[in-house]
Amino acid sequence: MPSLAGRTALVIGAATGIGRAVSEIFAAEGAAVVVADHGHEDERARLVARLRERGADAIDIECDVREEALVAAAIHATLERFGKLDILVNNAGVGSAAQPFYEQDWGGWDRIFDINLKGVAYGMKHGLPPMLQRGYGRIVNTASQLAHKPAPFCGAYCASKAAVVALTVSVAMEVAEKGIAVNCVCPGPTDTAMWRASDPAWNAWKEAQLPIKRVGRPEEVAAAYAFLASEQASYMIGQSVSPNGGDVMW
């Protein structure tokens, strides 16, 4: 039997990159999938059509994680359509151009933290009550390997992702006894639009550090989400799972 058969998953930040791969592997493992993202209307529609062609029940909705009301609405829409929320993935995130710390502006910091951290917080705040009511849930947040091994010239991004790890652990301790497992994935460099839009020199420097000597594929990273969302991960609480090509080892 597929590992997520009968489950309902809301993936926020689902239209492209890792989020798209997560949606695809969830559907392949039997879950109904709500594809939520800000904009990316064509990508969302194509993804939902592809999931449906493969036999999955899927819908797409607009969700800008900078707006708490829209995150709450995405969760409400999931409950209205499917009657439950088993799995929540908080994957929406943005990067920034590499630049010296003393040249970074607070407006850029606010944008990164509003999306990368507060968006995750909004998702958990509104996703937890229906899970607590049922006594079951899986929450997977997207952090980054840069949370554990920060890099120069991207201070705000590193700080936001380290905060996601800390928030994940704090919430995991609160709800573990109530049937809800909260964990995070800390991807290393992955071949996504965000990676391809980054400074080529910075990318080359980062890729050279990887023992595997290549960036990851979205589907390689998505496998970690599928594991954490499954019953096979029932003893995983507050963990950082790190598909990163060996950039961080422990």
Instruction: Cite the active site residues.
Output: 157
CB 29 within 8 A of CB 16: no
Q: How far apart are CA 34 and CA 105, in angstroms?
A: 35
Q: Which amino acid is at 223?
A: A
- Strand 58-62 relative to strand 32-37, pairing: parallel
User: What's the CA gap between 158 and 128, in Å, rounded?
Assistant: 26
Answer whether 185's CB lies under 8 Å from 224's CB.
yes
Find out whether 18 and 243 touch, Cβ atoms under 8 Å. no
Containing H/E element for 164?
Answer: helix 155-175
Backbone angles phi, psi at 34, to 5 degrees: -100, 115
Beta bridge partners of 32: 8
